[in-house]
Homo-oligomer: A and B are copies of this chain.
Amino acid sequence: MGSFIASKEEDYSKWYLDIVQEAKLVDYSPVKGCMIIMPYGYAIWERIRSILDNKFKETGHENAYFPLLIPYEFLEREQEHVEGFSPELAVVTTAGGEKLSEPLVIRPTSETIIWNMYSKWIKSYRDLPIKINQWANIVRWEKRTRPFLRTTEFLWQEGHTAHETVEEAESETLFILNLYKKFVEDYLAIPVFHGKKSEKEKFAGAVCTYTIEALMQDKKALQAGTSHYLGLNFAKAFDVKFQNKKGEMEYVSATSWGVSTRLIGALIMVHSDNKGLILPPKIAPIELIVVPIFKRDDEVNKRILEYATTILNRLKKEKFRVEIDKDTKNSPGFRFSSAELKGIPIRIEIGSNDILMDCVTIARRDKDKNSKYQVAVRELSSRVRNELESMQSDLFNKALEFRNLNTKEIFGAEKDSYNTFKTYINEHLGFVLSSWCGSEVCEESIKNDTKATIRCIPEDFKNKPLDNLTCIYCNTEAKHLVLFAKSY
């Protein structure tokens, strides 16, 4: 099992591709760039979806479903939007045996079709706010694809809200940004920087885009979710006005926001190792696996299986997501490796010695094999509960420590600082917190020199004083502290 996985130290990219296939998360489809999400991969997505779905609903959002196909003309109504998306469109030209008079595109995102409907639904302030979310498939024709990280078709949720005031829309944008940050940190155990994108990096059609940015183990950044403040752009494009409390007609303010199956890619790249997946307990489809250690004696094995099944049922009753491995053909070593490959947080081994002592042996996926230990059955569920909790926080802390170790401050005020910046970002990678004048020319020049982009203007360093700092590139007065990184 583990032996089919490349070493991440030697070939991180192959290691990633090996894991997604060997752990049976995805398979490649005959349609270039599209993936099949296999049952185990889909089970992770179902966990993500059900947790987020609850959070959206608890905070006043409702689900709905809008059509897959959008008239091309709708996209053209918002200039930046159509420029951003038209190179990536899949276009339906024939349907029901006839050529269509107007081409339809498969949604690359749904702002246009949704705002077309909002123009019908919104007449008065009484119709606001509208806070709709949709779980859907999306198609963007990408040149270079990689499972979960960038695929031609992917699954996501997209929220689309409409508000009376600019302030309310801005506050919704930030509310969702924080909801995403908390979800990714608390459940996926991935620390993220959150902040605003630069003008150049924002969503096509947004006034501004907020993002959460994570650091992978190869020290490249990954955009894990975005929340856009759309201002009046789509209201103007689709002429969506409402009568306000004073009886005047006003344009409606908008937001949109989304996370996708890409989160599964982040999950793998932040925590996993050369033995396979490591899944944070809160997101793992299976938290515990019971592995009875069989002998060459059928009668003994029957006893062992009975004992293991009793323990399984007890854990099920306590609402753990638990499974049993009844494989009698393969060696314990092989079976342990299988459970490790799948990233199951805790393995519960049950051998005949354990039974004699009314014990089981528990092994945590994120610790080395010498750290496994025996636990009395009567203490099992409380011990397991504690271990799951510590594993969740240990994974987060480990990722946070790694991220912090690889976040370097290099400011424009220092002597020869741009050379230091370039050397660091090329040789070491990671995040570089730097000072920037705000000009797109400097941003573009840095990208050309280093392939690094501005990931965001981070909220974390908002209160850090800018005095005397100059732009890392042009040395004029700095306007923002920004995070640079090479990214996926």
The answer to whether B27 and A95 touch across the interface, beta carbons within 8 angstroms, is: no
Q: List 25 A-B contacts (CB under 8 A).
A: A29-B117, A30-B113, A31-B104, A36-B64, A36-B66, A36-B67, A39-B63, A42-B63, A42-B64, A42-B65, A68-B68, A68-B137, A69-B139, A87-B96, A89-B95, A89-B96, A89-B97, A90-B92, A90-B94, A90-B96, A91-B94, A91-B95, A92-B92, A92-B93, A96-B141
A308 at the interface (CB under 8 A from B): no
A70 at the interface (CB under 8 A from B): yes
Q: Which of A133-171 contact B (CB under 8 A)?
A: 136-137, 139, 141-143, 153, 155
Per-residue contact bits, chain A 28-72, to B (CB 8 Å; 1 contact, 0 not): 011100111111001101100000000000000011111111110
The answer to whether A113 and B67 touch across the interface, beta carbons within 8 angstroms, is: no
A120 at the interface (CB under 8 A from B): yes
The answer to whether A92 and B106 touch across the interface, beta carbons within 8 angstroms, is: yes
The answer to whether B31 and A70 touch across the interface, beta carbons within 8 angstroms, is: yes
The answer to whether A43 and B63 touch across the interface, beta carbons within 8 angstroms, is: yes
Chain B residues near A68 (CB-CB < 8 A): 34, 68, 106, 137, 139, 153
A116 at the interface (CB under 8 A from B): yes
Further pairs besides A68-B137, A91-B94: 13, Cβ < 8 Å: A30-B113, A31-B70, A31-B104, A36-B66, A43-B63, A46-B63, A65-B155, A67-B153, A68-B68, A68-B106, A89-B97, A90-B95, A92-B92
Whole-angstrom CA separation of A143 from B90 in the bound complex: 23
Chain B residues near A67 (CB-CB < 8 A): 29, 31, 34-36, 153
Q: Which residue of B lies closest to A329 (CB)?
A: B126
A456 at the interface (CB under 8 A from B): no
Chain B residues near A74 (CB-CB < 8 A): 30
How close is A346's CB to chain B, nearest CB, in angstroms?
Answer: 22
Chain B residues near A43 (CB-CB < 8 A): 62-63
Whole-angstrom CA separation of A116 from B66 in the bound complex: 30
Q: Which of A94-140 contact B (CB under 8 A)?
A: 94-97, 103-104, 106, 113, 116-117, 120-121, 132, 136-137, 139
The answer to whether A113 and B155 touch across the interface, beta carbons within 8 angstroms, is: no
Chain B residues near A113 (CB-CB < 8 A): 29-30
**Known contacts A96-B143, A97-B87, A132-B39; A31/B64 CB under 8 A:** no
**Known contacts A93-B91, A93-B93, A97-B87; A71/B30 CB under 8 A:** yes
A306 at the interface (CB under 8 A from B): no
Chain B residues near A64 (CB-CB < 8 A): 36-39, 42
A88 at the interface (CB under 8 A from B): yes
Q: Which 4 A-B pairs have the closest CB atoms?
A: A96-B141, A39-B62, A34-B67, A37-B65
Whole-angstrom CA separation of A74 from B30 in the bound complex: 10
Q: Which of A290-331 contact B (CB under 8 A)?
A: none
Whole-angstrom CA separation of A132 from B69 in the bound complex: 27
The answer to whether A69 and B34 touch across the interface, beta carbons within 8 angstroms, is: yes
Whole-angstrom CA separation of A104 from B70 in the bound complex: 17
**Known contacts A94-B93, A96-B88; A66/B29 CB under 8 A:** yes
Chain B residues near A120 (CB-CB < 8 A): 27
